[in-house]
Structures are given as C-alpha cells and as structure tokens.
Chains A and B, each alone.
Chain A
Amino acid sequence: MDDVLVLKDYKTIPDIVHEYAPSLKFGHIPLVIDNGSYQCRVGWSIYDEPYLTFKNLIARPRKDRCKKDADPPVTPPIQIGNDIVNIEAVRFQLKTQFDKNIVTHFEVQEQVCDYIFSHLGIDSEGHVPHPIVMTEAFVTPNYSRQLMSELLFEAYGIPAVSYGVDSLFSFYRNGIGDTALIVNCGYHTIHFIPVLKGKVVAERARRINLGGSEIISYMHKLLQLKYPVHVNAITMSRIEEILHEHCSIALDYQEEIRKWANPDYYEANVKRVQLPFVQSSSSSTLTAEQQKERKKEMARRLLEINARKREERLLEDEEQLNQLLALQELIEDGETDEFNEAIKAFDIKNYGDLQRQIANLNVRIEKNKQRIAAAANAEEVVETRPAGRYQPPNDPEAFQVWLEETRAKYREVSARREARRARRAAMAKRRTAAAAERMRAISRLAAAGDDFGYRDSDWDVYKSISREADSDSEADGERLVELEEALREYEPAQPSQYHHQLHLAIEPIRAPELMFQPSMMGNLEAGLAETMEYVFKHFSEEDQLLLANNVFLTGGCSQFPGLKERLERELLEMRPFQSSHKVVMAKNPNLDAWYGARDFAGSNDFEDWCISKEEYYEMGGEYLKEHHASNRYYKSPAPLIDNTLTPAGDANVVKEEIVVDC
C-alpha cells in the first residue's frame, strides 16, 4: 500500500457578524444555545440551521512584559471560538469554561456569551431581549446552574431561560418512541440514560468519565512516544483530524490486534500519514557528487592558471637572458664604451654583476622548465583519495554487499557498546546480577596468589570490574565513528519525506477502544459495554427488553465507524439467548441536540417551561422548571449547621445577595 495520507490541517474561518433583523429584534424570538464542552452551537429558533458553530474555547494571550519607558503595553485581543485561526499557536493559552462536562469558569462563559450575542448582531441597549434555551449536562450540580442563571439574568438581562439535557433533546428529535437507553458519547463523558415511557430514570443512569478529549490526548501521547523526533509536528489538532477521519472501532478488538502481529498484514494495512516537512536544502543532498566535481574543476583551473604564469615567466626570463648575452658579446668584442652605455639601461654596474645575473637567470629558467614538466606529468596521474579504512568497491553489486556489511558491522559494534553500557549501569546499582558478578571478581582478585600477572590475560579482570569506560570501549567508539562516517558518505540518501511519516498500525483502533476498555489508560471504571450491562441489570426483565430494543446512540464520539456494529455484538453477548435488541444511530449525532432544542423552543408550550425573571428572583438561581428533556430539580437543602465551625457558608452569602437584588 503506497498511498500516503496527507494531513489537511483544517483552518477555522472567523465568524461573520450576522444581521439582526427587525423581525428578530421585536419578535421575541427564542435563542437556542447548545453549550457543549466540545462545540457550542447557536441559532434562532425560527431558522433551520444554527448560525454559529464554534469550539467552546477562548485564547487569552499573555500580556507583553511592560518595558519601563515604552508605551503602555498593547494587550492582544482575546480570541474566542472561530476567531482562533491557528489553534496550535495559542495551545497553551487556551481556556474553556468547562471542567469535565460542567461549566465552572463563568468568567470564560461570559466572554463566550459576549461573542455569541455580538456575532448574532444583537444591538439592543444593555440587555438581550430574547428567551434562551440552553443545554446543560445531565445532573448538573445546582451550583453551576445557579451561576449560569445569574450570568444570563443579571449580566444580560434576558427575559427567560429554559434548560435541557442535550442527549434528551437529541433523543426526542429523532422520534424513536418514548422508551430507550440513550448512550451519549460526548467530549468528556459517556452517559447512559434510560428513558421508560417518556420518563427519565435518573437514578439508574450512569456516566463514564471518559470521552473524545481523553481519546485525543491518549492518541497524541501515544504517537509522540512512538515518534519522539516529531514531538512538535504531532499536534493536538492533527491528532483530532486523524481521529475524525481515519479511526474506527474494531468489531472484535482481540482478534483484530492479533492480525497485526503478522508482518504481511502489517505491511498491507498500515496507514502512512505524511507530516509536513521541508525538503532538506540543496547543499547536502544533490551535491554530494556535484560538490566533488566542482572542487575538481576548480583545482584544474588553478593548475592551468599556474602553468600559464610559469610559461610567461619563462618567456620573460629567456628574453632577458638573450639581451644580457648580447651585452656579454659586446664586451667580448672589446667595445667597452658601447657596453658602458648599454649597461646603464639595464641597471648593471660592471662585468661581474652581469655575469652573476646571467647565471641567476639560467638557474631560474632551468627550475621553471622542470616545474612545467612536473605539472604536465601530474595531470596524468589519477589523484588518489586520502581514504579511511572503509572504502566501497565501485561495482554496484559489490557496493550493495559492502553497504550491508558495513551496516551490520555498525550495528554489531553499537550493540556491543550498548551492552557494555548497560552492564556498567547495572553494576553501579546494587543487587543486580552484574553487580554480584563484579563483587565475585573482586573477591577472587583479592584471593589470587602470587602467580597473578604471569599471564597477560590476568589483567583483563580489571576491565571487567572497572566502572569507567575502558580501552575496549574507546577502541569501539573510534570504530563506530569511522563506520558512521563511511555510511554517511556512501549510503544512498533517502528522500526525506519518509522520515516524516507516521505509521499507524493498531493505533487507529486502539485509541477509540478506550471507550470499551478505560483500563488501557489506567481508568478503573467499567467500559461502555460493561456499564451498559450494569444499567440493564437494575431493571425488570420486561423493561430490559424494551430498553435493549431501542439503544439510542448520539454525541460526537458515536460517529466512529463500527461503533454501532460493536455495540450490537456486545448486546448479543450480554443479552439472554435469542432475545432481540436494536441499536439506533442519531441522524446527526453532532447537531441533533441543537435541532431538538430548537424544536422545543418552537413548541407551543415553550412559554410554560421557561424560568422567567420573576421566578428567578423568587426561587433562586438554581431553580429549574422540569420538562420532558430536562434534568430533575431538587432544591438544594440548607447545609447542616455545625455550630463548632464558623457559620458563614457560601450558600448563605449568595442568598443574601439575591435578597438585595430584589
């Protein structure tokens, strides 16, 4: 399989500010917010699709350290949701209002709300004149709801709010009867919510504290450990992409992973993911040969220049010699006057000087002639490389053999060095076999008689008990360096993209398998199938059958291919022989909760299910009006007052505040 998966590195597109039409402004149109811990979806109840869908995250950049004389520091703007174009750049500054699946950071929630309302274009003065339908987690603590209501009513002045559970909205949206076991696989949790004849059996519901985010970080860590070289290239968002597009749930995990032990199966099925990489620059790869060529060329040119210079000089010298010889002839002919005239031009004092100069010139010419001859010979000599011990043969086949041998040698030497190192490390620790062996050697050494040292091999005992690197390892180290150099020089360079590929074998099924086996990451909770069995066990036979015949799968993580089949298989295993069961997938696991909430906001009874501002003031922030898709409301009991402690509980303080606001 040669096709390589290329990462797309999706970028978000910043949201536009939508138009706030007068029909919306004065129509008292409910606003529907599916406030999920992964994504937030917002839209008007009269439209089919949500206007905004963004990750529930904000990036709060750190303030620049203020220099004393500089202008007051420019605080970079807070980025929210889809404004964060490159999420990896701000990975460490990301904040979310969620702790697990519950909203706890209301400062962040307020910023997210600002983002929502401003992007919907709401421009009314000081308040948001729309009732809101907001989703919340199953069995949200009252405290969290109280703060949410406080935020919505006090900070935004909304007229009314209604809370519902996302998975219940999704369930009713899909219209598959009024009895089901809802399995909601979310970003932080998996919920099992049994619904019997339209009634949520909350006390039998269960939650596994594990979800998409855990699967992502598991896969992230796994790949980082597998490829320590690419730690920085393996980013969360890339893992998310791999998870969304290439991962699945195995029908039979044990059998599936056993297949991977076979190397042929591995080769045929491994997924190769290409990480982005920079083609290593020209200097190293394409010129290993060319550089050599260029050097040779340069040397040749230098030689040529030298030769030309020598020849020129030779000509010059010969010319001068001829002139001087002519002068000599003059004096030999006895024409002294003419000679005296002539030597002035040549800067020669007398006859002796002339003769010396002639002799000098003769020597120089002779030398030059010799040099030129030598240079001519040298060109014909094939230059020999100053070579190390490891020279490859020229024949390509022999070269392959040589390469293999050198590699083997390299491996052998480095293995030997590793073994020695490991032994030394073990020796340094107490109570290891190596340390015991060393102690034995030492005691033997102490007991050795006078004949110690007669044989040279006696001295090797010091090598075996020494904790420092000995001469053997030095020799090996040198050899290793030589081999390394030889390999680096002659090994054919691999195209660098292969170094930037991730091989995914079991990982694409291993990470989602966490849902069924949380023990793989040290989570001691029961997995999806086991918890489901546990939930079933607490119902009567008839109810069990009803629930099993309508297992409803929703939530983002339920979109792993194969999850439905796997669940059916698990149900077949856990249910009584020949009993029926059925798994239903939500039509749109991501958005059905929002659609359901929108339908709810559009229904005729919506007004009755809303908590109005008056009710908020009267009943307190945690108050909830129950409806078919909501949590149950249990009024928080007054805390037991322990007189031994200071009585200033938080609940009291908050209540006082509410009274003041009235």
Chain B
Amino acid sequence: MWRSLKQILTTERTLPWPEEAVLYYSINAPPTFKPTKKYSDISGLPAPYIDRHSKLFYSNAEEFATVRSLPMDITAGYLQLRGASTIVG
C-alpha cells in the first residue's frame, strides 16, 4: 500500500503528540506579510498595470499591445504560472 506525503502528514496530525514534538507540518514557513510585488507577466519588468480583459500584468503600452495579441492558451499559461488561475473571479 502506498501513501502520498499529504496522506502521511494527515495521519501524523491526527495522533496525540506530546507538546514538544516537532513534526513536518509544524515547521512550515509563515505566510508572507509583505505586500507582493507585481511584475509584468511577459517581460518581468515592474508592472503598474493590469489588463482587465486577460488579467495579465504589463508594464508599458508596447507590452499592452503584445498582451492583447496573445492567444488564450498563452494568457492562461501565464496566469497559471503566477498561480492566479482560479476558477472563480
């Protein structure tokens, strides 16, 4: 029988561990408290703008033209790469 790391950790969590035990899930890094910076999806430059249509970040007019000409699968790929491809919104 094979279990994934996630399953192993879930099982581990359900056990009544002593107070001082340090487990895999308890040393996860904290969530970031700094505001995340926006970078242009296509060039990586600092991006002050968002294309409302495709939701991509872009940094200047030239890039905007490029963003607008990108096919759907590419824009979807960029969003997914940024982890912004949620089904809702």
Contacts and interface: CB of A to CB of B under 8 A. Distances in A.
B1 to A, nearest CB: 8
B82 A522 contact: yes
A489 B28 CA distance: 61
Contact of B5 (A99, A221, A523): A99
Interface string B12-51: 1011111011111011111111101101001111100000
Given A518-B32, A524-B31, A634 B21 contact: yes
B83 A522 contact: yes
What band does the interface of chain A fall in when counting residues whose beta carbon is under 8 Å from B? 35 or more
A99 B68 CA distance: 39
B31 A525 contact: yes
B83 A104 contact: no
Contacts of A517: 36-37
B23 A139 contact: yes
Contact of A225 (B31, B37, B59, B81): B81
Contact of B8 (A102, A637, A639, A640): A102
B15 to A, nearest CB: 5
Contacts of A257: 39, 44-46
A261 B5 contact: no
Interface in A66-113: 99-100, 102, 104-107
A105 B22 CA distance: 23
B32 A144 contact: no
Contacts of B32: 518-519, 524-527, 530
A399 interface: no
Contacts of B74: 225, 228
A175 to B, nearest CB: 26
Contacts of A140: 24
Interface string B36-74: 110100111110000000000001100000001100001
A231 B46 CA distance: 26
B16 A640 contact: yes
Contacts of A216: none
A226 to B, nearest CB: 7
Given A261-B59, A525-B32, A636-B15, A139 B27 contact: yes
A246 B6 CA distance: 35
Contact of A258 (B6, B27, B42, B46): B46
A640 B26 CA distance: 20
A506 B44 CA distance: 6
Given A226-B42, A506-B44, A526-B29, 4 more contacts: A104-B4, A208-B29, A506-B45, A525-B31
Interface of B: 2-6, 8-9, 11-12, 14-18, 20-24, 26-34, 36-37, 39, 42-46, 59-60, 68-69, 74, 77-78, 81-84
18 contacts: A102-B5, A104-B8, A144-B8, A205-B22, A206-B27, A206-B29, A209-B29, A224-B77, A225-B77, A260-B45, A261-B60, A422-B68, A517-B37, A524-B31, A534-B29, A634-B22, A636-B15, A640-B16
